Chains A and B, each alone.
Chain A
């Protein structure tokens, strides 16, 4: 979905205003239009899809509950971004704690080597899995703009507006994300 983040008139503002009066249909409309990038932000921070559904769910519930706390309606997007990011960071912290706890209880299970069978489909699947693992392995600060760029197709300015960062920083992060992916995939795909 393409959005004009920097346009003078934000078509979502009346929607946000309606939500603040308790209009559920308006809220449903907001979810419909923006769940993809919220999802991208949550994945960008968490780096794994196991908990994305739960966290995104939590973000929308929080958004509904706390919409009254939004002081400046024009700034609803950074506000929603912060909600999503904080929820993902909290979830990531819990996950790290849980993993640390489980690691003390038991050894990590041995890695099961996947059989290598001929066939283009299998090779293609293998390549996708390698790239997916590499994306997940990116540091969050590179993964976040990378996912927004590739999932949403946003340009540098749109990403910069959302992440509240200079455009140059976004560009640098996207360059580094690709460099890291290329290094991680060297000779593999």
Chain B
């Protein structure tokens, strides 16, 4: 592209992006009047920009998806607990129900191949090739006395493991929020808490807190 055209192209793009100064606007107006190619370029870019803005808005923001009415958009923006994990993905309703099944076309041939392949593998594997299974015996729980002053310790500490009176609780918070694009976003947050049980059975927090 010639130097002059590149400059005009830059001016056209700056105009469409609202970045043009008054002097630049004047220069562009002159160029567009004088040069039919500049005029065509301006028209083409205007058309592309207008259409692109529409398409991107349609494809990337769109309406909020709901899973068969399972979830509704919170108008007040308040958080709502999620009752089931099935609500985690909220696919937009698809027009063609057949497409859902056509995705799984490979299951039948795969099952047939597995039915052929597994007996073949069992026949070709000699008994000597089989290794004895390694059995991992469960670790005995030693009920050692808990020290009076509970000190925070590293989780990997062997003393802590031997005591075996620790317990873990995992709280999972799942909630959703509605974005400015109208879509629903699921947020999962796992909190792991270590509890140490006293001999009496009550749960107390370690000295370091949560």
Contact = CB atoms under 8 A, between A and B. Distances in A.
Given A24-B175, A155-B17, A155-B19, A185 B60 contact: no
A82 B10 CA distance: 29
A32 B77 contact: yes
B27 interface: no
Interface residues of A, number: 46
B144 to A, nearest CB: 35
B104 to A, nearest CB: 15
Interface stretch (A9-17, A92-100, A110-118, A125-133): A125-133
A44 B113 CA distance: 40
Contacts, number: 118
B19 to A, nearest CB: 6
Most buried by A among B48, B59, B61: B48
Interface stretch (A72-80, A83-91, A170-178): A170-178
Interface in B151-202: 173, 175, 177-181, 183, 185-189
Interface in A6-41: 24-25, 27-29, 31-36, 39-40
A45 interface: no
28 contacts: A1-B180, A24-B173, A27-B187, A28-B77, A31-B179, A31-B187, A33-B180, A34-B180, A35-B185, A36-B179, A36-B181, A39-B61, A49-B59, A52-B60, A56-B185, A61-B188, A64-B187, A131-B48, A131-B55, A146-B52, A150-B52, A151-B53, A171-B13, A175-B10, A178-B13, A178-B45, A178-B49, A189-B51
Interface of A: 1, 24-25, 27-29, 31-36, 39-40, 43, 49, 52-54, 56-57, 60-61, 64-65, 127-128, 131-132, 135, 146-147, 149-151, 155-156, 171, 174-175, 178-179, 181-182, 185, 189
